[in-house]
Amino acid sequence: MIVAALRKKLAYEARKWATTAGVSLPDNLAVNAPPAHVKADLSLPWPLAAAKAAKKNPIELAKSLAEHLSNVAEVESAAAAPPGFVNIVLRNSSLCANLKAITLAPKTYGEDEGGPKTKVLIEFVSANPTGPLHMASGRGATLGDSLIRIMKRLGREAKAEYYVNDGGDRAVLLGESIMARFKGTPVPEKGYQGEYLVELAAAAPAEKSGWDAKRWGQYAMDTLLASHRDDMKAFDVSFDRWYLESELFSSGAVPATLEFLKGRGMVFEKDGAVWLGTMNAEGSTDDKDRVLVKNTGKPTYFLPDIAYHKDKYDRGFDRVIDIFGADHHGYVPRMKAAIAALGKPADSYHAIVHQLIHLFRGQEAVKMSKRAGTFIPLRELIDEAGKDACRFFFALRTPDSHLNFDLELAKKQSSENPVFYVQYVHARIVSIFRKAAEAGLHPAGAELPMPNARWLTSPEERVLLDKLAWFPEVLLDCERLLSPHPLANYLMELAGLFHPFYEKCPVVSAEDPEQGRARLLLIAGVRDAIREGLGLLGVSAPEQM
């Protein structure tokens, strides 16, 4: 993992240089990929930061730092560049050693060695069990599950959780809605619509004719929650826990949380209700105080939500992440205020709000599902487009960007389809290995030797070596940005770099067998990086297409 290890080595050397130069460097020293027109492997913006604080010339500092870093063993050359960068070219032998390391241990490639062992809890999807999971739930599931996989690869202790809102009045309202469908009467004004209720009513046990609204609601919730579990399994998403809201009430956590907030002086009474005083709480960004208990004595939805988050921290998690749908923008300041009221550090809580998905068939917008009424069920999307296409398409964009999902494109077996484009490279490399075995160049399953760096010097080979070295940094970017989109785009770029290599650099028919075996190791690294990267996105890496 040359870039990851070298980043730490360069930072150590830079701090030694800073002491000598009489400047200070920030705590976080990022390593950037240089622009395409710059012939370098790494670009360090560190002299800029040092110059600003010390009021010194950034170019002069960059020249001084470049001279110091030229002595690092893995560095071929280091040069200053305006307005104050140090551009570094790595030795080909170092990149080849990194390549060999990938193929020896692909399952751990990208681990943040020596990094923090943070305990992270990510709650995502958490759809109310009052209807089928919809298309937007798939985007949240992709986001949460991919982040869990990536954080685990980095070495964090990451857990996934699905919060089931089975408390409050939802069950009764759902029961009244499905009972109306069963009896053929109008659905309550604020009830749940959709043909799925008709199907649920028809599938109920024989004794259903004597059920009241509460019993109907429990049946419907249990059945719908079971469908949520099935959909997540079909989407290759697993949760460490399905946490029921009713557990909070039965354990006494809700009133206990209210007493805890009272003890911290965060609660007051007004108009017969109990309020959380969030406006003046340290670290709060909420614009008004919030009701916790109504004047009827019933808690609002907000109080059990606070109790649930208190429970997360009580279980020892250092970092708590919530993934919300687009309709929860207004909930974020409220939740941040709750974290502040609980006395937890503001930077320990993160809320991600993913935007809407618009479904198309080519140029034609798909308005709604006939079965569900007003939304597209996730299962319909999986059944038509496939799990791999759904997850890869969802992962390509940042969570805060709107997404147009083209069903026709997702089903295409061509390079126009992003997921096919990446998977095809993996399958093609597997095919090359089969041909190499048939030609006697390399026995199937045998370990490839460390290549002599002189065999991998063409521009097409060099750019692949360099791209493979960036894989660990891409995973760190995903964690920093709380989004898998850097990884999905990295895989697209890596696949794109393979094609010119394939056209210009023969493998099985190379002029020298040693060169052929060196190129086999190079494409083995590409194969492994693609397979591991796709796996972290929950996407398969087929060996034949």
SS3 419: helix
pLDDT value at 371 more than 60: no
Residues with Cβ within 8 Å of 52's Cβ and at least 6 positions away in sequence, in order, are 58
pLDDT value at 475 more than 50: yes
Q: Considering just the CA atoms, what is the radius of gyration of the chain in Å?
A: 28
Q: Which residue has the higher pLDDT, 341 or 288?
A: 341
Give the residue from 322, 319, 311, 310 showing the smallest Cα distance to 348.
319
Q: At 120, which helix (H) or strand (E)?
A: strand 119-123
pLDDT tens sequence across 316-352: 999 999 999 988 888 898 899 999 999 999 999 999 9
pLDDT for residue 51: 86
pLDDT for residue 281: 57
What six digits make up the tokens of 466? 């360099």
Q: What is the DSSP code (8-state) at residue 377?
A: B
Identify the structural domains of the chain with CATH numbers, from first to last.
Answer: 2-90 (3.30.1360.70), 415-536 (1.10.730.10)
Q: Which of 144-153, 224-233, 505-514 has the lowest mean pLDDT?
A: 505-514
Q: Which residue has the higher pLDDT, 410 or 510?
A: 410
Give the residue from 486, 479, 332, 404 showing the smallest Cα distance to 139.
404
Single pTM value for the model:
0.93
Rounded to the nearest 10°, the torsion over CA 471, 472, 478, 484 is: 40
Whether the Cβ atoms of residue 163 and residue 125 lie closer than 8 Å to each other: no
Q: Which residue has the higher pLDDT, 2 or 67?
A: 67
pLDDT tens sequence across 171-195: 889 999 999 999 889 988 888 887 8
pLDDT value at 284 more than 70: no
Question: The tokens 């009764």 sit on which residue?
Answer: 172
Give the residue from 537, 536, 540, 527 showing the smallest Cα distance to 426.
527
Sign of CA dihedral 233, 235, 237, 242: negative
pLDDT for residue 87: 95
Give CA 45 to chain center in angstroms.
Answer: 27
Give the start-end residues of each E strand in 264-376: 267-270, 273-276, 290-293, 319-324, 349-353, 357-361, 364-365
Question: Which neighbouring-strand residues pair with 54?
Answer: none
For the chain, what percent of residues have pLDDT higher than 70?
96
Question: Which neighbouring-strand residues pair with 75?
Answer: 90
Q: Which of 61-70, 159-168, 182-191, 278-287 has the lowest mean pLDDT?
A: 278-287
The per-residue b/e assignment along 424-457, b for 16 or more CB within 10 angstroms, e otherwise, is bbbbbbbebbeebeeeebbeeeeebeebebebbe
pLDDT value at 484 more than 50: yes
pLDDT for residue 282: 61
Write down the mean pLDDT value for the chain: 92
pLDDT value at 162 more than 50: yes
Confidence band, pLDDT 50/70/90 cuts, at residue 368: low
Q: Distances from the Cα of 338 to the Cαs of 261, 304, 335, in angstroms?
A: 10, 11, 5
What six digits make up the tokens of 136? 């937007």
Distance CA 56, CA 395 (A): 42
Distance CA 544, CA 541 (A): 9
Give the residue from 293, 288, 302, 339 showing the smallest Cα distance to 317.
339
Give the residue from 440, 461, 443 showing the smallest Cα distance to 452.
461
User: Left if phi > 0, otherwise alpha if psi is -120 to 50, otherwise beta: which for 482?
Assistant: left
Confidence band, pLDDT 50/70/90 cuts, at residue 372: very low
Residues with Cβ within 8 Å of 271's Cβ and at least 6 positions away in sequence, in order, are 295
pLDDT value at 370 more than 50: no
pLDDT tens sequence across 225-242: 999 999 999 999 999 999
Q: In what order do the strands lie in the sheet with 241-244?
A: 241-244, 157-164, 119-123, 319-324, 349-353
pLDDT for residue 203: 93
pLDDT for residue 192: 87
